[in-house]
């Protein structure tokens, strides 16, 4: 996309948000203004918000839920520290809302939005992804209700999380535990939820789960 057309596209965003707020069944999810705290805001956590990374509104209605558990993922793709968090999230959202084919050949249906609620980039930036008040999405089979979906960028079957990512994951887990009363017993990796269906979040990230659990209330 040329700089000119990208600027034009960005200029349209406020108008699209206003339009969605008037016509969609979830006006509160689409109409967050910069004056209001993001619905996914957490005490003590500096988020890169959806408006800061240039998110578009969810493309169809999502399922409301009450967060009461935490599921941790890796992206299963190599870390790309050269890419800006905003660029990464816009690319992920484009993929998420499209039909596509997965690496294993299965079809991927379009999702309403990014499937995760929080995304941690290699430099440790914590990004606001899907509105945490709505269930996430998955290509595997498990109950998404109540699960806060946190993804750490990287393939942790093949590489190590950065120190910055680990520090952010521990802080985010602690803040989610404080905000929603999530105990250590309600924390797991994707492969703990969808047994036999995935290696996510990878051995090198799961090795650090004791630090995550220690940050939870009651941990």
Query: Which residues, at least 6 apart from 37, have a Cβ–Cβ distance to it below 8 Å?
Result: none
* Closer Cβ to Zn ion, 49 or 108, answer by number: 108
* Closer Cβ to Zn ion, 130 or 190, answer by number: 190
* Closer Cβ to Zn ion, 73 or 186, answer by number: 73
Does 200 interact with Zn ion (rule: CB under 5 A)? yes
Give phi and psi for 42, each to the nearest 5: -135, 150
Q: Which residues pair with 100 in a beta bridge?
A: 108
Among 134, 107, 138, which residue's Cα sits nearest to residue 50?
134
Half-sphere exposure of residue 28: CA atoms within 13 angstroms, side-chain side: 10
Which one of the spans 23-31, 62-70, 161-169, 197-205 is the region binding Zn ion (CB under 5 A)? 197-205
Least separation, in Å, of the C-beta of 73 and Zn ion?
3
Least separation, in Å, of the C-beta of 173 and Zn ion?
16
Q: Which residues pair with 74 in a beta bridge?
A: 152
Half-sphere exposure of residue 96: CA atoms within 13 angstroms, side-chain side: 25
Which one of the spans 19-27, 55-63, 169-177, 184-192 is the region binding Zn ion (CB under 5 A)? 184-192
Does 117 interact with Zn ion (rule: CB under 5 A)? no
Does 190 interact with Zn ion (rule: CB under 5 A)? yes
* Closer Cβ to Zn ion, 55 or 200, answer by number: 200
Which one of the spans 3-11, 35-43, 66-74, 202-210 is the region binding Zn ion (CB under 5 A)? 66-74
Q: What would the x/- binding string for Zn ion be over residues 69 to 108, using CB under 5 A?
A: ----x-----------------------------------
Query: Which residues, at least 6 apart from 182, have a Cβ–Cβ distance to it below 8 Å?
Result: 67, 68, 69, 70, 148, 176, 216, 217
Which one of the spans 45-53, 97-105, 158-166, 193-201 is the region binding Zn ion (CB under 5 A)? 193-201
Least separation, in Å, of the C-beta of 147 and Zn ion?
11
User: What token pair was written down for 119?
Assistant: 């995304």
Sign of CA dihedral 30, 54, 41, 144: positive
Q: Is the peptide bond before 201 cis (omega within 30 degrees of 0)?
A: yes
Least separation, in Å, of the C-beta of 202 and Zn ion?
9
Site residues, Zn ion (CB under 5 A) = 73, 190, 200
């Amino acid at each position: 996309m040329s700089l000119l057309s990208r600027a034009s596209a960005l200029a349209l965003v406020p108008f699209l948000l206003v339009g969605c707020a008037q016509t969609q069944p979830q006006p509160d999810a689409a109409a967050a203004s910069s004056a209001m705290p993001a619905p996914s805001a957490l005490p003590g956590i500096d988020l890169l918000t959806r408006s800061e990374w240039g998110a578009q509104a969810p493309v169809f209605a999502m399922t409301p839920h009450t967060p009461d558990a935490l599921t941790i993922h890796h992206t299963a793709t190599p870390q790309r520290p050269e890419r800006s968090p905003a660029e990464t999230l816009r690319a992920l959202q484009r993929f998420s809302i499209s039909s596509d084919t997965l690496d294993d050949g299965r079809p991927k249906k379009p999702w309403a939005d990014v499937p995760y609620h929080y995304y941690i980039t290699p430099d440790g930036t914590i990004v606001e992804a899907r509105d945490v008040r709505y269930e996430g999405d998955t290509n595997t089979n498990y109950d998404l209700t109540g699960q806060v979906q946190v993804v750490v960028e990287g393939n942790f079957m093949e590489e190590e999380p950065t120190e910055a990512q680990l520090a952010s994951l521990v802080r985010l887990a602690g803040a989610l535990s404080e905000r929603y009363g999530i105990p250590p017993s309600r924390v797991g990796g994707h492969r703990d939820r969808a047994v036999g269906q995935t290696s996510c979040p990878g051995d090198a990230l799961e090795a650090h789960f004791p630090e995550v659990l220690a940050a939870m209330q009651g941990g």
